[in-house]
Amino acid sequence: MRILVLGGTGYLGRHVADRLRALPGARILAAGRSDAAEFRADLATDRPEQLVRTLAAAAPDAVVNCAGATGGDAVNLAEVNARGPAALCAALREAAPTARLVHLGSAAEYGPGNPDEPVTESAPARPVTPYGATKLAGTLAVTSAALDGVVLRVGNPVGAGAPRASLPGRMALLLRSAGADPGAVLRLGDLSAYRDFVDVRDLAGAVARAVTTPGHLPPVLNIGGGVAVPVRELVHGLARRAGFLGRLEESTGGSARSARVSWQCSDITAAERALGWRPVHGLDDSLDALWAATVENGRAA
């Protein structure tokens, strides 16, 4: 089975590609902007005919789209998260119309949640950020493309290699820099929001199930931990692992983003039913893996 992973050299893409390599008979092909990718592809700028040639050369049985932007201005977000999946679907229809497409969406597409009410796939999408809105546009491109496609709406991924742009990655780097200095002070934003954290290894496992499960799949499936956890718990958990002796100063003014999306949690029942998937790693496992990788990277540097 030939599986093309777009964004296969990025944070999520690396974990996904590693998990897919364990599938019997699978050949994993990475596509992206990195020189390490076997196929050069940029969903933000490549014309559909370029993508058609790339897909024809790769001849995939399945395509996993891990490419995406989480930061930058609205134009960059739209180019990568909205334009990219639309161009990919257009190219797939011409070059590989029978290939299964697994696209990584985001729980940010739902917008604010109601406390103690995990959101199901049938809930209306009401994103309140450019990121969520552009990810929703990408989801709509996939679900309306008349392809064998499924969108995995992912919660907040946590694990080894978390990027600096993410809260877990940023906190890990700050704590590594602070070391055991009892006088260190880390000034943080509002940590009162609740989020649904999912281990990147569990996410990768869900992708593998989505690639290999036969038959028709629902157009959208939630992939998360299935539990709403205070962001403060993640930060303090990392601080304990770091042996942090300083002080964490949390903003009391709050942030516009947290105020607008103070609670998020996904109902993952449909993924269990369709894929036979449930997460096996809790937040403690995720933080252990993240901190161990942070320490190892610090030694390598």
194 given a catalytic annotation:
no
Structure tokens at 61: 């049985």
Kindly compute the dihedral angle of the four CA atoms of residues 244, 249, 251, 257, in this order, to the nearest 10 degrees.
Answer: -10
3-state secondary structure of 243: coil
Catalytic residue among 11, 110, 131, 194: 131
Strand intervals (E) in the chain: 2-6, 27-32, 39-40, 62-65, 100-106, 148-154, 156-158, 185-188, 194-195, 197-199, 220-223, 229-230, 247-250
Longest CA span, the chain: 61
3-state secondary structure of 288: helix
Please state, as a whole number, how many other Cβ atoms lie within 10 Å of the Cβ of residue 240: 11
Each residue of 73-82: b (16+ CB within 10 Å) or e?
eeeebbbbbb
3-state secondary structure of 272: helix
Closest CA to 2 of 75, 71, 111, 98: 98
Distance of CA 94 to the CA centre of its chain: 27
CA distance 190 to 177: 21
- The position carrying tokens 């993924």 is 271
Q: What type of residue sits at position 269?
A: T
Q: Return the active site residues.
A: 131
